[in-house]
Amino acid sequence: MLPRILTIDELQARYRDGSLTPLQLVDEILRRITAGTDPAVWISRVPDAALRDAAQDLMRGAAPGADQPLWGIPFAVKDNIDCAGLDTTAACPAFAYRPPDDAAVVARLRAAGALLIGKTNLDQFATGLNGTRSPYGAPRSVFDARYISGGSSSGSAVAVASGQVCFSLGTDTAGSGRVPAAFNNLIGIKPTRGLLPTHGVVPACRSLDCVTVFAACTADADRVRRIAQGDDARDPYARTAPQQRLPTSGFRFAILKPSEREFFADAQSAQRYADAIARLTALGGMAVEFDYRPFRDAAALLYAGGFVAERLEPLRAFVEQHADTMDPVVRGIIGGAQGVSAAELFADFNALAALRRQAEKAWADFDLMLLPTAPTLYSVEQMQADPIRLNSRLGLYTNFVNLLDYCALAVPAGFRDDGLPFGVSLIAPAFHDDALAALGERLHRATQCGLGVDRSAAIAEPSAPIAVPADERIVIAVVGAHLSGMPLNRELTEPGGSLLRRARTAAHYRFYVLPDTTPKKPGLVQAPGFDGPGIDVELWSLPAAAFGRFVSRIPSPLGIGKLRLEDGSEVSGFLCEAHAVSGAQEITALGGWRAYIAGIQT
């Protein structure tokens, strides 16, 4: 029996222990899709027979390994992103075409073993933040079908939040990878512009567009983002740079002044924002009120001025010939750009440059922002009655992010008394994506608001790394008395070490109890050709200077060498000289030091 919400670690654990196969998972997903109550989630799907064939192809190939970190993991793709074998419609049937190849990000995920289920609904041409502007219907919030799912990546969010796929791809120009996350209790990663290439994506505003990731937990979303990212010569806006760090404690986070907290009379959402501020403070942050005006003014430029002309540029011929096939609201927005002059556009470029300078000064006072993802949540009926004004409200705290070249992470922040979700966004300058993921995971865990539609689901400890950039820190694997809660763990925590994740070694290691050691210590020895259960380890991150001091105190016969983990990666960790375990008690079958200690204490 699979959990209601699918996560990567859960599925991979089932694959490893033999209780699940990709084919069985496909059958369960098809059952869930058939039983689903929201018919507007999917625009097209991989045919059932072809999906089963793809699952069987995986099973006939190599077992899950480091070369396919997403082996058998089901995902969905917003239907403005190309997937070979399926039409790309951008939610406009008259625009549809059959691409010969996958978009760059889709190709990378499929190469990693991920299993494409189909293409999801969206606000037409990715124009909207509400999810109601599609001839394929309006996907609804998984918590109340009367309410919008958020857009434009509406179907992508609902597919994850309802448990039909493990993760999905969306896009984000104004907030489309964040607002749907907030309205469906999901994580939404809006990466640094260009970090995920947009080759094979129907442009909204080409210079601002981002491919985004939805998942139920930060570990999954972050893992997918890392696999999909990277330069692509076919995308002129693709770029790479070293990831930047944020303080792990004592960080300063910007919050709205009370006078600038606009929730449009939604007191419940206002209170959830205050709760999130308190929660992030408890995690070691210091709240700093700031002047939101330059950011708000930048946000207003995205639709109110010349920048909307960029939406028209790739669609000009289509709009001229097929305007009558478009959603009326979308047609009005994109078609309205036909009257924008080059002079108006350059005036807005200059206005944005001035606002960017003001924003840069503000960042001297804080390290990141904590903002509401959206100020409130509307019903489908309300949105359809007032589509422009209410949609504009939804972008109040998101529209500026791409214009000012920031990255963002949408994180669930609890539920209102009416059972509807609320979300916040962590925002930082470009190339702080790793750091936001590490902090976002802590914030999500502290909020304890479940996963997607399952409000009672626990957030499991991630097996995949969610780590701050390692330019000034070194990762070490520990196996014994340095584990969390063990006698020597203080040697890691006191110099500023932080636990990244728990893992397991590859099978070719034996594990022993070293004689005459106080406190008791184990010895991990490489045994080429041995096929054991693997040994539990913890991966810790230490400041580089502290790592040197730590290693210098390690007594013989222990030392630091390269350990291979079961996922195929290598990390520095404790190893023992083989001669020292001659005659020692072997405890390999126990699978780890905790199991041994538990046994001798009972």
Q: Which two tokens stand for residue 281?
A: 């403070």
Asked if residue 29 lies in contact with residue 118, where contact means CB atoms within 8 angstroms, the answer is: no
Q: What is the CATH number of the domain that holds 595?
A: 3.10.490.10
Res 471: pLDDT: 45
Within-domain flag for 337: no
Within-domain flag for 308: no
Within-domain flag for 461: no
Same domain, 436 and 484: no
Same domain, 147 and 199: yes
Q: How many domains does the chain have?
A: 2
Same domain, 484 and 568: yes
Asked if residue 103 lies in contact with residue 199, where contact means CB atoms within 8 angstroms, the answer is: yes
Within-domain flag for 319: no
**Could you report how far apart the first and last alpha carbons of the chain are, in Å?**
33
Which contacts of 231-236 are long-range, i.e. CB under 8 A and separated by 24 or more positions? 231/197, 232/104, 232/197, 232/199, 234/104, 234/197, 234/199, 235/104, 235/194, 235/197, 235/198, 235/199
Same domain, 550 and 404: no
User: What residues act catalytically?
Assistant: 78, 152, 176
Res 555: pLDDT: 84
The alpha helices in 395-520, defined as continuous H runs, are: 400-403, 433-447, 490-493
Same domain, 161 and 251: yes
**Residue span of the structural domain in which 495 resides:** 473-601
Residue type, 19: S
Last residue of a domain, one of 447, 462, 495: 447
- Which stretches in the chain have pLDDT values below 70? 62-63, 65-66, 305, 464-465, 467-473, 544-545, 602
Stated pTM of the model: 0.79
Within-domain flag for 586: yes
Residues 6+ apart with CB under 8 A from 479: 511, 522, 524, 535, 536, 537, 573, 574, 592, 593
Same domain, 365 and 220: yes
Within-domain flag for 310: no
Same domain, 438 and 507: no
Within-domain flag for 339: no
Q: What is the CATH number of the domain that holds 443?
A: 3.90.1300.10
Same domain, 428 and 571: no
Q: Which two tokens stand for residue 109?
A: 């995920």
Q: Angle at CA 400, nearest 5°, toward 396 and 406?
A: 130
Within-domain flag for 455: no
Res 406: pLDDT: 98
Same domain, 411 and 523: no
Same domain, 441 and 527: no
pLDDT tens per residue across span 28-62: 999 999 999 999 999 999 999 999 999 999 998 76
Q: In whole angstroms, give the CA distance from residue 452 to residue 186.
A: 6
Q: In whole angstroms, give the CA distance from residue 243 to residue 236.
A: 20
Per DSSP, the residues of 130-155 read SS---TT---EETTEEEEE--SSSHH
pLDDT tens per residue across span 465-484: 576 554 456 788 999 999 98
Q: In whole angstroms, give the CA distance from residue 454 to residue 342.
A: 49
Res 473: pLDDT: 61
Helix (H/G/I), strand (E/B), else coil: 540: strand
CA distances from 304 to 203, 245, 297, 307, 356 (A): 19, 35, 10, 8, 17
As a residue count, the chain comes to: 602
Please identify which residue in the block is written with the tokens 């998942």. 215
Same domain, 387 and 262: yes
Residue 508 belongs to what H/E stretch? none
Same domain, 129 and 26: yes
